[in-house]
Amino acid sequence: MSLAAPAVTPLRSHAGASFCCRTLEALGFRTEPQPEVLVAGCGAGHEAALLQQALSARVTAIDIQLDDPGEYADWPDLEMYEASVLDLPFEADRFDLVFYHHVIEHVSDPARSLGELARVLSPVGWLFLGTPNRHRLVSALGAHPQRDWQSTVGAKVRENLHDWRARLAGRFRNELGAHAGFSTRELDRMLAPHFAVRRWLTREYLRFKYGAGKRRRLVRLLTARPWIGWAAPSIYVLCRKDPRASR
């Protein structure tokens, strides 16, 4: 019998994990029988714990080098391993969801990583992917008090300055450690060979994260065409291998 997850109220993580859960709920993502979830690039484990709790899932979390998992070390239905996303130690078609959030821009072979994730994902499972937008003018729209994980306005300002210094120096590239990310077109080109269904959720994510209160009108303006291509700090997509799946 599976134990209930420890009470952590509220359980906090990056906004991407909460948005992923909300989006899957709207799509009718099943929670019975218990779904299998892979978190590819898990860090300390807070995203994996949130997904486990919200989806009542059995979560496998990997990272090339694990941080100290702290309070998540003994979290029920959550196992953490050191492994490379370029060579996953799992059988084909195992997972119902792969969560790949702001990791692909750090991987030495992004296209190969997507092939590996597609291999271990069920034909009717979902891949949720987020990465910085390479065409962005700013790296963040400002720190949200509830939805920015361990971040501040000062940190966001420093992040923007770092990006622009890298641009001016001609070093705004993932392989040079600039956290540049990809354009929507670049990412779609890598996804297309493996995922027939690709639902772009950048606008919905940004409105979820930033679109409340006083900033609502500004965020809606910046996420409208044609501005979103350079106004969006990051891009988000939900993918599936089998286009014949009902949802």
- Confidence at residue 4, expressed as pLDDT on a 0 to 100 scale: 42
For residues 156 and 41, what is the distance between their CA atoms, to the nearest angstrom? Answer: 22
3-state secondary structure of 135: coil
DSSP codes of every residue in 60-76: EEEESS----GGGTT-T
Which residue ranges in the chain fall short of pLDDT 50?
Answer: 1-10, 143-147, 149, 247
User: What confidence tens digit (pLDDT) does each residue in 166-183 have?
Assistant: 999 999 999 998 889 999
**CATH 3.40.50.150 matches 15-240:** yes
Name beta bridge partners: 78.
59
- Confidence at residue 141, expressed as pLDDT on a 0 to 100 scale: 61
Peptide bond between residue 10 and the one before it cis (omega within 30 degrees of 0)? yes
**17, 47 in Cβ contact below 8 A?**
yes
- Confidence at residue 144, expressed as pLDDT on a 0 to 100 scale: 47
